[in-house]
Structure 1
């Protein structure tokens, strides 16, 4: 009997660690490569202020999403949850935000792969490498290789190891004078990039299923995962700024040389390539199964729209993830706040945790998201 009890306890502990790993694997991706650049351009004091605020707000958003999930008996993805609590308009707003956000990520991956490959090889036009990868990637998205999405967790682990290796390897080269630059007029500049890099809400339904017999541990699982992610981001950003100052490249690993460049760029390219394939498959399936598009039409819309934007506009990596994070991340955050307000009144299951702070904290979160959208709009219009 004691043996059985011990095994059950070990299984529960294992599920907790798997849940933490799932959240970390969802959060950590190509977005981390852009954070050092925006922190360096802003300065470490205003950059870290923005980082702390956005880090807290994304943690809150993930907690709110988790609370909505556990207040709902039926397992639903977020468009379904938005429909249940916010009606048809909420459903389509959530659907639009998620799909546009995924398109933004696909565009960022195409841009990033081209730039990182050219830097790694030391020659060639980044756009040529983007198109070459696109030909390869588009075919694989059409084939719908499901195993690709299963590699994301392992690649996230690899990216974490590389971030730690690079950070500790470069620490002896940090110089105090590189932290002298602080531009408070750009304090909002990192907002969209950091928000893009910290989004992990989409995995919450899977976490709830995994932790169905120990839902009380969902709260500590979210907090543990987000603290790990934010700590890694902060360490990597400060080390890169301490070594390169304001000369950090938009894709941070492109600032490196020698073994750090080879390792960092290789893992970055692999992470972005598999991210493109996994996300492309999700977008294709969304059009194919949710909107009932023909398989080939769904595929064409999925892959050729991002390519067209890259070829016609030639956006920068930072602009893409910054705009995507500021608009789609903020909209999802606002919807999450509205959903948790409604779920606290109309939810059909007893919650195992309630995010503290009540309505004032929810309204403050919404205000920050609206402010982020307003800043990004002003920046695009040239007002800031």
Structure 2
């Protein structure tokens, strides 16, 4: 395998495998393992197909063309503004989710180490300050930090799965869905675990290869997260009894509920410590990647990457809105991920299908065309709309939360 192909595969996999993985046990607790597997495979098929649609689109564009430029070219100013808004919405929602969960985890660890209690908001403020210092230091500093943290995260993930495997009980894996709405309520959040589409044009530009190479990188890069997610769900759902886990989440939602369930499950303490370390690493790498993209976006808007004033403005625009959310909603990890799912449905499903639909009407056929025709494009569009409606139904109370 060529170095660039391997690099592209790892870029896609690294973008996908992050803090969204931590939400999976929470949203799948009421589903059971078999239903979870079916749902994850279905979402992988959907998002991989839409990524291949972007590969088809990229044949008609210059190598460094991004999603907003493609939207402006083929969908007009309205398409441009919808894409721009969805992109910022996605980045801000993810940043808010990671600051919320990461701040809470940091406060808990420092409270235990220092023997005096820190509020989650204090942990969030500290995490924001550290992240802002790293991001403002530039892409090279973030890249170095991220490479180290990502490599360590993969090692810890493998170690965690190996430690949990002997404790998995097959009877736990036979649990069934608690109610039909649980399946619908889990879909929007699980979608965020397959969201690499915003970075795909950059990955394809980096490859400088053929369409065949692009397709291979998309398929291989998206398959790695799927396998990791299936192994992760097998480990957690096989370790924790469903009824017990749901009872814990009812009293202690979000990530603290997962940590509490592991702590009280009777497994060796080092397993819980390994899970907490993996959670910290997943949150750190995801937070660095998302905030760097957001910071660079604002630097571009201020048209300067060297001016200290411009960097200060970009830093404030990057961190103040999600910090405000995290301080007001310290339990808002799942809430923010839900909002991110709406933006991701626009960018990863509606936009690729709309672009291909328009291009096939206007341009001559390119060497590569994704199979399926108009009916497949219509299905992708429909899935995107349904996911948005599901998340809106959850927020308005028409659908229950994942664990109730």
User: TM-score per shorter chain, which class?
Assistant: 0.7 to 0.9
What's the C-alpha RMSD, in Å, of the aligned pairs?
A: 2.5
Alignment gaps of 5+ in structure 2? 264-268, 305-309, 400-404
TM normalised by structure 1 equals 0.87
User: 1:253-282, CA deviations, whole angstroms, 9 ceiling, x for partnerless residues?
Assistant: 665453333333234323423433342232
Query: Within 2, Cα distance between the matches of 1:292 and 1:73?
Result: 22
Residues 1:213 and 1:55: Cα distance change in structure 2 (over 3 Å): closer
Matched residue SS, 1:141 = helix
1:359–1:43 Cα change, 3 Å:
same
> How far does residue 233 in structure 1 lie from its aligned partner after superposition?
0.3
Q: Which residue of 2 aligns with 1:303?
A: 319
Identify which of 280, 286, 289 aligns with 1:275: 286
Report the Cα offset of residue 169 of structure 1.
Answer: 1.8
Report the equivalent of 1:5: none
**Aligned length, in residue pairs:** 371
Q: TM-score, normalised by structure 2?
A: 0.83
Q: Distance in 1 between matches of 2:135 and 2:213?
A: 36
Q: Distance in 2 between matches of 1:99 and 1:291?
A: 16
On the 8 A contact 2:240/2:262 being kept in 1, the answer is no
Compute the displacement of 1:339 (Å). 0.8
Kept in 2, the 8 Å contact 1:22–1:153? The answer is: no
For residues 278 and 196 of structure 1, the distance between their equivalents in structure 2, rounded to whole angstroms, comes to 15
Contact 2:134 2:142 in 1 (8 A): no
Shift in alpha-carbon separation, 1:201–1:263, aligned structure 2, 3 A: same
Q: Is contact 1:20–1:224 with CA below 8 Å preserved after alignment?
A: yes
Distance 1:349 1:153 in 2: 40
Task: Within 5 Å, give how 1:123-202 maps onto structure 2.
Answer: 123=112, 124=117, 125-144=119-138, 146-149=140-143, 151-178=145-172, 179-183=174-178, 184-202=180-198
Q: How far does residue 83 in structure 1 lie from its aligned partner after superposition?
A: 1.0
Match of 1:340 among 327, 344, 356: 356
Structure 1 range deviating more: 152-161 or 67-76: 152-161
The CA deviation string for residues 137-168 of structure 1, in whole angstroms up to 9 with x for no partner, is 23333444542045435534433332232223
Contact 1:31 1:197 in 2 (8 A): yes
Q: Secondary structure at the match of 2:371?
A: coil
Any runs of at least 4 consecutive aligned residues in structure 1 with deviations exceeding 6 A, and if so which?
A: none
266-275 vs 373-382, which deviates more? Answer: 266-275
Q: What is the match of residue 285 of structure 1?
A: 296
Q: Work out whether residues 97 and 328 of structure 1, in 8 Å CA contact, stay in contact via their aligned partners in 2.
A: yes
